[in-house]
Structure 1
């Protein structure tokens, strides 16, 4: 199930209606993970499958948009940090191929999460097609948290948060940290699973 689907193409359109929008911080409970929608107005849930859930937000009709989500992938239960790094780069190249994106800065480090083994990647990219058009160059700021699930054997997950716009959002790190911290492991008595579909017990709540 190597389906770490990142969300470059999953953009919401400007015709979203008010009923589509989520309240800030809505809980989504799955057998594998619990998580919350981003803690701000204007977000919609744009995708929920057996391996991922995606939220999007667009600022009016501008080039500013945000994407956040969680995706599951297969990984060896005894994978080392080095092996996790290799998998991280493989998934990253799949999501951001070099023929479409130019990386202007990138850093990978161990996450400070105490409850599981995670790597954090922070990057800025631009579209390869706009390199000769500096006034229309969209900046993609991306933070990705790659973790080995501490309970579900051979399961990893990636938590992504991205902003795209002509300028960098100075609140981006604070927003992404809130979303990352909200991803938790269910209590031990809940059954294990590697499914995130609504038909497989995804539930949402404002409480």
Structure 2
């Protein structure tokens, strides 16, 4: 494969639009080839880097392929075992969810990185009188935030952020989801709250202008 790629790159008449892919593949093959000696391994990697530089300088390399050869910027954060960090438009460090949320907001959406937070909040407010009904045995101490049986197969509002969502936001979200879709979601929650409130997409988005709601992972 290496010899074929080198032969293809030696000419400039055939499939010029693929030259970027050929350089990319050839650099990958050269840089990933296993060598027993460190000196040989370094030589392979230097050759792969030289191929990337050659691809960047090649006037026949298509613009769409140039990003493949660009050297990435290493962020000076040596900590490992943490979530990836991205740069927002204002230069602030954000999570990938925050970056996506910023893009959606530019397109006219409102939103939260809430996972199941918004929907469980709506569930708690709609079924407040049922959840906190004075049924014997479900409230044994004044420190409980939910009845003991909510997450069981017989019927606990866990993780509710009472201070995060405003009344205006929640009303807009409910209107954008619509009665039929909201009823279907809440029915699923009621049937098995402990399991079915998990796995909800990271972003809860809504657009009051178009009356649309979107849950995006």
Q: TM-score interval w.r.t. the shorter chain?
A: under 0.3
Please identify which structure carries the higher strand content.
1
Q: Select the structure of larger CA radius of gyration.
A: 2
Greater RCO, CA 8 A, separation 6+ = 1
